[in-house]
Chain A
Amino acid sequence: MASNGKNNGKAKANGQWVGKRFKRKEDPRLVRGISHYTDDIKLPRLVHCVFVRSPHAHARIASINTEAARSQPGVLTVITSADIEGLGMIPCAMQMPDLKIPAHPALAKGRVRYVGEPVAVVVAEDAYTARDAAEMVAVDYEPLPVVLDIEKALQKESALIYQDFGTNKAFTHAMKSGDIEAAYKKADRVVKVRLINQRVAPTAMEPRSVVAEYLPGENRLTIWASTQIPHLLRTQVAIMVGLPEPAVRVIAPEVGGGFGSKLNVYAEDGVVPWLSMKLARPVKWTETRRESLMVTIHGRDTINYLELALKKDGTILGLRAKVLADMGAYHQLLTPLIPQLTALMLPGCYKIPAFDCEIVGVFTNKMSTDAYRGAGRPEAAYDIERIMDCAARELNLDAAKFRSKNFPQPREFPFTTAAGLLYDSANYQQSLKRALQLAGYDKLRARQKAGWKQGKYYGVGVSTYVEICAIGPSAATPAGGWESATVRIEPTGKVTVLTGASPHGQGQETTFAQLVADQLGINPDDITIIHGDTLAVPYGIGTFGSRGTAVGGTAVYYAVEKLKIKIAALAAHLLGAKPADIVIAHGRVGVKGNAKKSMPWGEIILAAYTARSIPAGFEPGMEATHFFEPSNFTFPFGTHICAVEVDPETGEIKIEKYVAVDDCGNVINPMLVDGQVQGGIAQGLSQALYEEMVYNEDGQPITGSLMDYAVPKAAHIPEFILDRTVTPTPVNPMGVKGVGEAGTIASTPCMVNAVCDALSPLGITNIDMPLKPERVWRAIAAAQAAVPPPAATTAKSARTARRTA
């Protein structure tokens, strides 16, 4: 592992437990299949519901007839919008000056605006009966013109989704720094590219699920939900159903992945609890995969116009961008936020003196977009890393050297970017160097040149990414960017950690235990992490934006520090020493420099509870809470390199090597960090190669099942070569930056760069994702048909053309 680039002095990279490969505490129950996801929850008198959804992308609802469904044996009720007048709207947390927020009822009222929009809900004694009855709900629709293309949607003649707004534009937002006009005047070259970042479906393996039980006598509503944000969901559902917050408890049991898609408040999250209140019976709803692909938020879906102004020598003078972002038909919780993150991160890890960016949100007759792993930053990294490659090619510079030339130097940190962010710490040169070494970059380039002469198309993709993590300072987030922790050392000495973060696969039951074990000198097995229950855990924000450890873990760290002060005070009192001399280590509490004066851990903790001998002013018990407000985001970075071979005859792509050198600051558990990076890369590669949520001209999703929507299989994903550099952040005392999204952000442009690089002798500069073999084949065919082909490659182009004719 490479050495530290910079250290703030506070960070401790390794302890007895921190920094070690430590098996997860979560796993024994998960590999046995004996713990419970939401759909596994069973309650006495539980009833089941099925939603009736719009088959039209845009239509007026003329009538709904629920009689036949209602009269089925076993059906309890059938509800439409007319029945839920009291239920609040689905919330959007964003506020911006010109943001248009349409009313978003939980069941469509008068109009449907995307395929899958819920229109009615059937409740029955069992799921099979509910499913049968749902077929019997007769809805009469009058179809309306459909708006799908975000560029056409902005034209005057476009049909409107909301007549009242008079436009399909949801918002515009501009960001500027430096003098862009001057940059263009000075520039030797302006490189331009239009990039499409296609719509993708997060596809957590566990579909969404909600179970709600309302007990009228106690006035208590308990909701089990597959969510990343139990507390925020509780607040929003309390508002929707009109209960005081203390009456609502949300439990996120085992959650089978989220990737941002469960960082939301959906129609079903409001309707299911509401039904339980009306029926006074527990109600369950579980999404089918087809529903998941149709009505769980989608990610990305932007069109990006980029221009990079450059000097001949490769110095960047300015970046201009226009980003059109598809909102879908309504705003979900954070829909309009996502493209703002794109704008913020567009300058990437480069010194860009002038920056001019406009983002436009557009309504269409599709499911809402929202946060999907990376949320706006993968789009930014894709934009900047793709245009960096295009620019290197136009200027005939090496892709790696050109990037390096425009990096800020390590001594320039903290570094203020063209978008106004303050990057805390980094050493981009070091990570690039290591990745080039690991990949055998020079050899790959030599082989590529030789290959071109033989009609072989080898490509090397480089992506030097930076991302924004540890989200984030509250001033920069819509719903609070802090996190909470309560740490309680129980009378037996065992430790309970209650975290407001709500992990769902990330493994914080393990990493937090490692962290606390080092702080208190005890064993991680004696530490239990509790999360995801609003009745147990102090108000928290949740797990998303690579914040679980950097923000949630820091809250735990500070809560433990408070307890250490308390332990020191009590120990000083009991051992007759000064608190400053108390040492907590190896299961004992002792006095510095006096080996005889010490007490076992259990005894000192028990003394805090028995409280027979405590110092003046000492509060009995051993519990502390900390709400951590970060001073800044963190900015993990790294270099990914991908080597591919493209089959010029079929357009098939073979990934030959994938190298990732990531820097997420200090590492608590390297095995878990590797897991996050690998999973992230797979998702990013998959967007580059396979995934796309496609709607046809009527607004019907045609990749509506896993038969058509390609979630990658093991054989689609290469073996990864991983390494790290370690540049601890000064933003938190552990020096950790976050790693949940890094792989996804870096890998997409890396892959596309590699393929475009392979085909560069043909003059191909861009192919839109996903790089389906047919698209690649067509790009090759079009390039070969273009006259004249680049002089240097005429012979081999002609040769290839003959073969494919």
Chain B
Amino acid sequence: MIPASFDYESPKTLNEAITLLASREDAKLLAGGHSLLPAMKLRLASPALLIDLGRIGGLDYIRDSGETISIGALATHAAVAASRLLLASSPLLAQAACNIGDIQVRNRGTIGGSLAQAHPSADYPAAILALDANIVATSQSGERVIPAHSFFTGMFTTALRPDEIITEIRVPKTAGSGTVYKKFHHPASGYAVVGVAAVVRGATGKIDDVAIGITGVAEVAYRATAVEDALRGKPASAIAEAAKHAADKVEALGDNYASGDYRRHLAQVYTRRALQEALSSKRK
């Protein structure tokens, strides 16, 4: 319940934060704190310095940038879930956000914090992957845009360099596509046992393009490319067969609640259901 001692800085600007981060190897960034603080209270994490990003103004925006929507890294899950802009132009991220934790967690937790943690059962990664979003990381050497597909590198690991801070997430607009996030909740933690994010573009029962991100199954969220390849240009009737490839070539993780085999099976079923829903939501 009680974290180990640490030093604490709360920079007022991004530049200060970047400088601080570069100056200490044993520092951790604190955003909403809903991944880091629980780990610290159980003493699974004991950083020597916490750099609290909460005092940096202007990093919680959600705004229209033409082709894309730009989301500040400090936007809370609640803000993402309720964003009219996202709901109108690119709802998948909001659909994932409203599945995260609970009201209190969504009020504090931030999109940047969640992505940086890269929990294997987090909700955002599935959506970020399915959207081909870009993640903007900032360090003393400037901004770097990391495409979603190369951002998540393993369990709790990302392509972020130690001196980088996530500052923005850019998601494309998905007008004309159906989007669904379908989640099997762990009854205790609320994390995804399996979460499937689907973007489907098509008309009159034919699928023009499709993107599927899956979380909870493997040590890192992934794109179900075998399903996508089997569906492009195919009729909706191909979904059932294609969805069976949702966990192809994936090393599924198991735990006390759900084995790897079961997660793999759920990925197939939930992928099929997500695609069917996405297609029908598109038709509406």
The residues of A that contact B88 with a CB separation of less than 8 Å are none
In whole Å, how far is A510's beta carbon from the nearest beta carbon of chain B?
Answer: 31
Sort A-B residue pairs by CB-CB distance and give the 10 closest, nearest first. Answer: A710-B188, A710-B187, A774-B262, A707-B189, A131-B2, A288-B1, A690-B187, A649-B269, A128-B2, A694-B256
At the interface, yes or no: B259 with Cβ under 8 Å from chain A? yes
At the interface, yes or no: B45 with Cβ under 8 Å from chain A? no
Whether B4 and A708, one on each chain, are in contact in the complex, defined by CB atoms closer than 8 angstroms, is no
Given A710-B188, A774-B258, 13 other A-B residues pairs in contact with their CB atoms under 8 A: A132-B2, A132-B4, A132-B5, A135-B43, A650-B269, A690-B187, A694-B256, A702-B256, A703-B188, A708-B256, A710-B186, A773-B184, A804-B265
At the interface, yes or no: A712 with Cβ under 8 Å from chain B? yes
Contact with A along B178-218 (1 / 0, CB 8 A): 00000010111100000000000000000000000000000
At the interface, yes or no: A706 with Cβ under 8 Å from chain B? yes
Contact residue among A132, A288, A709 (Cβ-Cβ distance under 8 Å from B188) = A709
16 contacts between A and B (CB under 8 A): A128-B2, A132-B5, A649-B269, A650-B184, A650-B269, A690-B188, A694-B256, A702-B256, A703-B188, A709-B188, A710-B188, A772-B257, A773-B262, A777-B262, A778-B262, A804-B265
Contact status of A708 and B262, CB under 8 A, knowing A132-B5, A290-B42: no
* Cα separation A690 to B258 with both chains bound (whole Å): 12
At the interface, yes or no: A239 with Cβ under 8 Å from chain B? no
At the interface, yes or no: A127 with Cβ under 8 Å from chain B? yes
At the interface, yes or no: A654 with Cβ under 8 Å from chain B? no
The residues of A that contact B42 with a CB separation of less than 8 Å are 290, 705
At the interface, yes or no: B278 with Cβ under 8 Å from chain A? no
The residues of B that contact A152 with a CB separation of less than 8 Å are none
At the interface, yes or no: B266 with Cβ under 8 Å from chain A? yes
Contact with A along B84-115 (1 / 0, CB 8 A): 00000000000000000000000000000000
At the interface, yes or no: A711 with Cβ under 8 Å from chain B? yes
In whole Å, how far is A198's beta carbon from the nearest beta carbon of chain B?
Answer: 12
Whether B269 and A707, one on each chain, are in contact in the complex, defined by CB atoms closer than 8 angstroms, is no
Whether A708 and B258, one on each chain, are in contact in the complex, defined by CB atoms closer than 8 angstroms, is no
Which A704-751 residues have C-beta < 8 A from chain B? 705-713, 716
* Cα separation A706 to B1 with both chains bound (whole Å): 13
* Cα separation A469 to B157 with both chains bound (whole Å): 55
* Cα separation A135 to B3 with both chains bound (whole Å): 12
Closest to B1 in A: A288
In whole Å, how far is A559's beta carbon from the nearest beta carbon of chain B?
Answer: 44
Which B27-78 residues have C-beta < 8 A from chain A? 42-43
Whether A706 and B269, one on each chain, are in contact in the complex, defined by CB atoms closer than 8 angstroms, is no
Contact with A along B116-128 (1 / 0, CB 8 A): 0000000000000
The residues of B that contact A694 with a CB separation of less than 8 Å are 256
The residues of A that contact B4 with a CB separation of less than 8 Å are 132
Contact status of A708 and B188, CB under 8 A, knowing A774-B258, A774-B259: yes
Q: Which residues of B contact A (CB under 8 A)?
A: 1-2, 4-5, 42-43, 184, 186-189, 256-259, 262, 265-266, 269
* Cα separation A395 to B186 with both chains bound (whole Å): 38
The residues of A that contact B269 with a CB separation of less than 8 Å are 649-650
The residues of B that contact A774 with a CB separation of less than 8 Å are 257-259, 262
Whether B256 and A777, one on each chain, are in contact in the complex, defined by CB atoms closer than 8 angstroms, is no
Q: Which of A649, A711, A778 has the most CB of B within 10 A?
A: A649
Closest to B190 in A: A713
Q: Which residues of A contact B (CB under 8 A)?
A: 127-128, 131-132, 135, 288, 290, 649-650, 652, 689-690, 694, 702-703, 705-713, 716, 772-774, 777-778, 804
* Cα separation A135 to B269 with both chains bound (whole Å): 46
Contact residue among B2, B257, B259 (Cβ-Cβ distance under 8 Å from A708) = B257
* Cα separation A649 to B257 with both chains bound (whole Å): 17
In whole Å, how far is A630's beta carbon from the nearest beta carbon of chain B?
Answer: 40
The residues of A that contact B43 with a CB separation of less than 8 Å are 135
The residues of B that contact A707 with a CB separation of less than 8 Å are 188-189
In whole Å, how far is A671's beta carbon from the nearest beta carbon of chain B?
Answer: 28
The residues of B that contact A288 with a CB separation of less than 8 Å are 1
* Cα separation A132 to B1 with both chains bound (whole Å): 11
Whether B187 and A716, one on each chain, are in contact in the complex, defined by CB atoms closer than 8 angstroms, is yes
Whether A708 and B5, one on each chain, are in contact in the complex, defined by CB atoms closer than 8 angstroms, is no
* Cα separation A601 to B5 with both chains bound (whole Å): 64
In whole Å, how far is A123's beta carbon from the nearest beta carbon of chain B?
Answer: 15
Whether A706 and B265, one on each chain, are in contact in the complex, defined by CB atoms closer than 8 angstroms, is no
The residues of B that contact A712 with a CB separation of less than 8 Å are 187
Whether B188 and A706, one on each chain, are in contact in the complex, defined by CB atoms closer than 8 angstroms, is yes
The residues of A that contact B262 with a CB separation of less than 8 Å are 773-774, 777-778
Closest to B191 in A: A707
Closest to A134 in B: B2
Closest to A770 in B: B187
Closest to A705 in B: B42
* Cα separation A716 to B188 with both chains bound (whole Å): 11
Contact residue among B5, B187, B257, B265 (Cβ-Cβ distance under 8 Å from A777) = B265
Closest to B266 in A: A650
* Cα separation A773 to B262 with both chains bound (whole Å): 9
In whole Å, how far is B137's beta carbon from the nearest beta carbon of chain A?
Answer: 29
Whether B256 and A703, one on each chain, are in contact in the complex, defined by CB atoms closer than 8 angstroms, is yes
The residues of A that contact B2 with a CB separation of less than 8 Å are 127-128, 131-132
Closest to A689 in B: B187
* Cα separation A703 to B257 with both chains bound (whole Å): 10
Closest to A692 in B: B256
The residues of B that contact A649 with a CB separation of less than 8 Å are 269
Contact residue among B186, B188, B265 (Cβ-Cβ distance under 8 Å from A711) = B188
Q: Which of A135, A708, A716 has the most CB of B within 10 A?
A: A708
In whole Å, how far is A135's beta carbon from the nearest beta carbon of chain B?
Answer: 8
The residues of B that contact A777 with a CB separation of less than 8 Å are 262, 265
Q: Which of B1, B43, B187 has the most CB of A within 10 A?
A: B187
Contact residue among A128, A690, A708, A773 (Cβ-Cβ distance under 8 Å from B189) = A708
* Cα separation A131 to B186 with both chains bound (whole Å): 31
In whole Å, how far is B101's beta carbon from the nearest beta carbon of chain A?
Answer: 11
* Cα separation A708 to B189 with both chains bound (whole Å): 6
Closest to B259 in A: A774
Closest to A715 in B: B185
The residues of A that contact B184 with a CB separation of less than 8 Å are 650, 652, 773
The residues of B that contact A705 with a CB separation of less than 8 Å are 42
In whole Å, how far is B260's beta carbon from the nearest beta carbon of chain A?
Answer: 11
The residues of B that contact A708 with a CB separation of less than 8 Å are 188-189, 256-257
In whole Å, how far is A116's beta carbon from the nearest beta carbon of chain B?
Answer: 15
Closest to A290 in B: B42
* Cα separation A777 to B186 with both chains bound (whole Å): 16
* Cα separation A131 to B42 with both chains bound (whole Å): 11
The residues of A that contact B1 with a CB separation of less than 8 Å are 131, 288
Closest to B244 in A: A805
In whole Å, how far is A464's beta carbon from the nearest beta carbon of chain B?
Answer: 29
In whole Å, how far is A167's beta carbon from the nearest beta carbon of chain B?
Answer: 31
The residues of A that contact B258 with a CB separation of less than 8 Å are 772-774
The residues of B that contact A706 with a CB separation of less than 8 Å are 188
* Cα separation A777 to B256 with both chains bound (whole Å): 15
In whole Å, how far is B252's beta carbon from the nearest beta carbon of chain A?
Answer: 12
The residues of B that contact A128 with a CB separation of less than 8 Å are 2
The residues of B that contact A132 with a CB separation of less than 8 Å are 2, 4-5
In whole Å, how far is A129's beta carbon from the nearest beta carbon of chain B?
Answer: 10
* Cα separation A300 to B253 with both chains bound (whole Å): 30
In whole Å, how far is A622's beta carbon from the nearest beta carbon of chain B?
Answer: 49
In whole Å, how far is B242's beta carbon from the nearest beta carbon of chain A?
Answer: 15
* Cα separation A131 to B1 with both chains bound (whole Å): 9
Q: Which of B5, B43, B184, B266 has the most CB of A within 10 A?
A: B266
The residues of B that contact A650 with a CB separation of less than 8 Å are 184, 265-266, 269
* Cα separation A716 to B190 with both chains bound (whole Å): 12
* Cα separation A385 to B4 with both chains bound (whole Å): 51
* Cα separation A710 to B189 with both chains bound (whole Å): 8
Closest to B272 in A: A649
Closest to B265 in A: A777
Closest to A702 in B: B256
In whole Å, how far is A387's beta carbon from the nearest beta carbon of chain B?
Answer: 28
* Cα separation A128 to B43 with both chains bound (whole Å): 13
The residues of B that contact A710 with a CB separation of less than 8 Å are 186-188
* Cα separation A778 to B269 with both chains bound (whole Å): 15
